[in-house]
């Protein structure tokens, strides 16, 4: 088995949004648990989304655990035992999709266990503002049960993603070092603007701080506008020697009042931005909110055109 860290001498494609793909398959994610609710009601759809991203050319998919945490499940009527089962199910579904794709194609792909921030549990947009603060032990008390569930099933890497606060990330990394120090992690921040975390920390400082951890193999940003990616990637690339990851939203803009996405500037594809992202120093690329398997397929096609045989063919 090749470790993902050995593949990063060339660009690596990851998946896109879980929520948008689930909604296209008919799932209802309009609830406090968001996509995690589908783990209980229609788990086959979660697996199908992973399968579609692999078919689109993604080499890594992220488990449906961003919003899945024990307190949230309990608050929405599940028992603690059921909560642990559903988190483990999320990992199993991703691994089943990966293994079946490997059996069909011979291509070994990767599964990342998603660790969303405490702000995602609050379900009030705090993962984009960082308007909360806990102690290190409180952060770890929140993250520990989910991390243990993810590790019990096993993943290739951990995705510490959409993180607005540096203090929370450091608490998570210390927890990973306690429970699974050999597990590779990437850290992806949510930003106030292209060079500043939501909590006000300069992006370059945050990147340098987390890159010091031996098991952090990549650092970057996600859930940001397409227009900010190149500058953010260049900032991280200039600050650290490790690979840079970015998976932005599509060109859609979210309206928190109506809870809908619109395209005020028209539909712009992620793939059209790819050359400038690669030139800025990007190694790992994918999509976040409102991106789909189609977007990832276009990225895959464009990566092949730009880098030739360096990108694996999934036809």
Angstrom distances, CA of residue 102 to CA of 49, 54, 105, 227: 16, 10, 5, 35
Element (H, E) at 91: helix 80-105
Instruction: Give the pair of three-digit tokens for residue 162.
Output: 């959409």
Can you tell me the distance from the alpha carbon of 87 to that of 90, in angstroms, rounded to the nearest whole number?
5
Count of CA atoms in the C-beta half-sphere (13 A) of 315: 5
Name the DSSP class of 228. Answer: G
User: Rounded to whole angstroms, how far apart are CA atoms 232 and 175?
Assistant: 27
Residues 6+ apart with CB under 8 A from 299: 13, 57, 270, 271, 274, 285, 286, 287
In terms of DSSP bridges, do strands 185-189 and 191-193 run parallel, antiparallel, or are they unpaired? unpaired
Q: Is the dihedral of CA 140, 118, 185, 212 positive or negative?
A: negative
CA nearest 12: which of 157, 114, 203? 157
Q: Which tokens sit at 312?
A: 């694996």
Q: Is 223 part of any known ligand binding site?
A: yes
Per DSSP, what are the bridge partners of residue 112? 62, 157
Q: Are 227 and 166 in contact (CB under 8 A)?
A: no
Q: Is 288 annotated as a binding residue?
A: yes
* Cα separation values, 38 from 44, 60, 65, 149, 297, Å: 9, 21, 11, 18, 24
- Choose among 231, 277, 228: nearest CA to 249: 228
Structure tokens given for 94: 């991703």
Q: Could you list the residues known to form a binding site for Zn(2+), using ranges.
A: 223, 288-289
In the annotated binding site, the residues are: 223, 288-289
């Amino acid at each position: 088995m090749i470790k993902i860290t050995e593949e990063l001498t060339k660009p690596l494609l990851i998946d896109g949004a879980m929520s948008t793909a689930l909604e296209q398959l008919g799932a209802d994610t309009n609830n406090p648990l968001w996509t995690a609710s589908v783990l209980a009601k229609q788990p086959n759809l979660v697996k199908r989304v992973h399968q579609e991203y692999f078919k689109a050319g993604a080499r890594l998919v992220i488990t449906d655990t961003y919003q899945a945490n024990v307190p949230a499940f309990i608050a929405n009527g599940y028992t603690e035992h059921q909560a642990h089962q559903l988190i483990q199910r999320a990992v199993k579904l991703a691994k089943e999709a990966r293994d079946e794709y490997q059996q069909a194609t011979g291509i070994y792909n990767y599964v990342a266990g998603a660790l969303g921030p405490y702000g995602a549990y609050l379900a009030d947009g705090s993962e984009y503002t960082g308007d909360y603060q806990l102690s290190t032990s409180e952060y770890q008390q929140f993250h520990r049960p989910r991390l243990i569930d993810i590790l019990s099933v096993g993943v290739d890497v951990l995705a510490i993603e959409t993180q607005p606060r540096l203090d929370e990330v450091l608490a998570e990394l210390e927890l990973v070092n306690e429970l699974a120090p050999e597990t590779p992690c990437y850290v992806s921040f949510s930003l106030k603007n292209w060079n500043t975390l939501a909590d006000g920390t300069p992006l370059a400082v945050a990147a340098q701080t987390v890159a010091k951890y031996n098991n952090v193999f990549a650092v970057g940003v996600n859930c940001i506008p397409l227009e900010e990616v190149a500058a953010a990637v260049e900032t991280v690339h200039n600050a650290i020697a490790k690979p840079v990851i970015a998976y932005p939203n599509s060109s859609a803009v979210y309206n928190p009042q109506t809870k809908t996405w619109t395209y005020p500037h028209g539909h712009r594809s992620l793939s059209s931005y790819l050359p400038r992202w690669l030139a800025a120093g990007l190694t790992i690329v994918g999509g976040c909110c409102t991106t789909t398997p189609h977007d990832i397929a276009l990225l895959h096609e464009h990566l092949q055109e730009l880098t030739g045989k360096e990108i694996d063919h999934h036809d």
